[in-house]
Structures are given as structure tokens and as C-alpha cells.
Amino acid sequence: MLQRIVVSGVLAAVVVTVAACSMFQASPKPPPAPVTVSAEQSGTSVALASGQDLVVRLPSNPSTGFRWIYVEPKDAVLRVDGPSSFEAQSAGGGAAGAGGTEIWKLAPFKPGQQQLRFEYRRPWEQDVAPSRIATYSVTVQ
């Protein structure tokens, strides 16, 4: 009987010690703030830390049929994080046909270098040159 009490007491002490140690573990460091680039920065270099997202904001007017198309390279270091979104221009009062900004979010999945390329085109016009091109040289640490 005494042996059971001693074993139970030792087990309880171990459980309390383990629980206390887990409370004092360092919390994981939050990822760095995303880097945002625009069409005006096309042709520039961008450096990202591991785990740091990239946000690309490009002028767009989907009512014309044009949209930005991500051209995926063979050896990518970034992945597109979901479909692009559209933010209407606030100055136009949200009028139909008003332009705005197409927003792409990309996340690094391995270190390296990549030429990021977006083409502004109508998706159904395959044999037509893009209206505009935005490129960025991205390095992921």
C-alpha cells in the first residue's frame, strides 16, 4: 500500500514537472512582415527571408477582359498562395467598369532565386503579345 502511494506521488511529480516545463518553452517567432511590390517597381530585385511572403499589386481593369497572368518558371522558389484578388479604385465610387488593383500573394517554399513574371493579357488571346509585363528578380534566403 505504501509503495502504491509513493509511486503515485512520484508519477504526479513527474506530470507536474513536464507540464511546467512546457509552459516555459519559447513561443515560435512570428513570420516577418510581407514585402509588397507594385508595377512601378517592375524590373527590380526583391530579397525575402525564409517564410516571408511577397505581395504583388498591379493595376488592372477586369471589365476590359484583361487580367494579370502569372508565368510560372521551371524551377520556382515561390508558390502562388491562392487566386489573385481585385481591389476596386476608391476614387471611382465603385462604378461598373472602373479599374483597380489585382493583388497576388506568393509564399517561398525553398531558398534560391527566381525571375517572377506577370503578363497583362486577355486569357483567350493566346497568339497576341501581352499588353504589359511586370518582372521581379526574387531571392529567397
Given a cut of 70, is residue 18 above it in pLDDT? Answer: no
pLDDT value of position 97: 80
- Report the SS3 class of residue 65: coil
Q: Is residue 73 part of a domain?
A: yes
Structural domain includes residue 8? no
pLDDT at 1 over 70: no
Per the CB < 8 A criterion, the answer to whether 34 and 55 are in contact is yes
Domain count along the chain: 1
Cell numbers given for 129: 503579345
pLDDT greater than 70 at residue 24: no
Do 123 and 43 contact (CB within 8 A), yes or no? no
Q: pLDDT tens digits for 39-81?
A: 999 999 999 999 999 999 999 999 999 999 999 999 999 999 9
> 141 near 49, Cβ under 8 Å?
yes
Query: Given this model, what pLDDT does residue 27 score?
Result: 73
Q: What is the CATH number of the domain that holds 134?
A: 2.60.40.2020
Tell me the residue range of the domain where 50 lies. Answer: 35-140
Please check whether residue 3 lies inside any domain of the structure: no
pLDDT in tens, 84-133: 999 998 765 556 788 999 999 999 999 999 999 999 999 999 999 999 99
In a domain? residue 82 = yes
pLDDT at position 10: 53
Place of cell 505504501: 2
**How far, in Å, are 37, 87, 98, 104 from residue 90 at the CA level?**
20, 9, 9, 19
Q: What is the pLDDT of residue 129?
A: 97
Q: Give the C-alpha separation, 48 to 32, whole Å.
A: 9
- Whether residue 68 lies inside any domain: the answer is yes
The residue type found at 50 is: S
